[in-house]
Structure 1
Amino acid sequence: MRDATYFLDSILGNETELTILEHTTDTPGYTELIFAFFDLLGLSFSPHIRDVGTQQLYRIKRQLPDADLKPLFKGWINCQLIIDYWDEMLRVAGSLRLCRKNQSMVK
């Protein structure tokens, strides 16, 4: 379990007059899934990732990126997986937005 899920709970449960639009965290505070939920909820997620060059980066198209970037990309996004689970992701994002379920409880 990473810190990211708890940060999202805190942001969505914010009861101050301030609107939080962006969250910055260090390496333990991010997961790939959190990027998706921040985007679905209209929030910006800007983690400072240690050793970013060793992280798994993905691309949608199978065409190779610029030669300088090629070593950073190690995999492709499975678009069918996103399509298959899109309704479920929207349901969870809606539940989170309405504070009916905490992100840290979502497995």
Structure 2
Amino acid sequence: MTADQSLGRLDDDDYPAYTMGRAAELLGTTPGFLRAIGEARLITPLRSEGGHRRYSRYQLRIAARARELVDQGTPIEAACRIIILEDQLEEAQRINAEYRRAEGSAKPSSAA
């Protein structure tokens, strides 16, 4: 892999570029918090060849949302469930909008 290819991967939201320590630092939290949301199956970090957890920018955004809820007093398990449900709702709304667009384009136009 060339240096340009490696740098390009850093623009990929799913590329696991952050170590646990760096991720915790960026989020203003602890590695234990990241482990807890991993145990709750909110995010599943990838593992380096050495077995260390690595996080993507996408996972950090999810973790930041979890931290926001926990900071507001929501128990961590409930925060994880809320985020999962929010994600499912967003996906359902996206699919519904696609169906509506497809249905709208399939209807024959009526002449007045």
Shared fold per TM-score greater than 0.5: no
Greater per-residue strand proportion? 1
Higher relative contact order (CA 8 A, sep 6+): 1
TM normalised by structure 2 equals 0.29
